[in-house]
Amino acid sequence: MIYQGTARYPVSEIVIHCSATPPGWMKGQSLAAKRAEIRRWHVDQRGWRDIGYHHLIDRDGSTLPGRPETEIGAGVEGHNRGVIHICLVGGAGSTADDPFEKNFAAAQDLALRGLLTEIADRTAVSRVSGHNEYAAKACPGFRVLKWRSRT
C-alpha cells in the first residue's frame, strides 16, 4: 500500500493529466529537461513547492518520476489526498472528447497502461480518472473511461 503525507492517506486513485504542449515541444531534449521545465511552471509561476505530478510520460513512452508518490500531489484543486497524478507530455489544443491517439503517441498509450498496472500492483487503486472529471478542462485530452475500455 502507498500512503501519502504525514497523515498517511492511502492511495486509492490515479488521475491522468496532460502538459498541454504541442507534439514537438522541446524536441531533442530529454524527459528530465521537460520535467525541469514543468517543475519551473509549477514552482515559479504557480508558487507550488514542487512539480504537481508524481509521474511523467514522454511521447516516446519513456517515464520519469516527478514528486515522490508518498507526498500529496498538486494535480486537482481540492482532490489530491490519496491520489497519484500522471502527466502525459502533449495534448495542446485537445478537447475532452478527443480519441487518445489524436493527441498522444502509441508509445505513451503502452507506457500509461503499464504504469497503471505497476501502481495498482503496489496499492489498492479503486478509480482511474481524468482531470476533466473534476474540472471544466480538456485535460488530459480524452475520456479516461472510454480509453481504458479499449484493449
User: Which residue numbers are catalytic?
Assistant: 17, 53, 131, 137, 139
Cell (9 digits) for 132:
476533466
11, 1 contact by CB (below 8 A)? yes
Q: What is the DSSP string of 5-26?
A: TTTTEEP-EEEEEE--B-TTTT
Spatial neighbors of 101 by CB under 8 A, at least 6 apart, are: 109
31, 62 contact by CB (below 8 A)? yes
* Residue 140 φ/ψ, nearest 5 degrees: -90, 5
Nearest to 110 by CA among 149, 146, 57, 65: 57
Report the DSSP pairing between strands 55-57 and 83-88: parallel
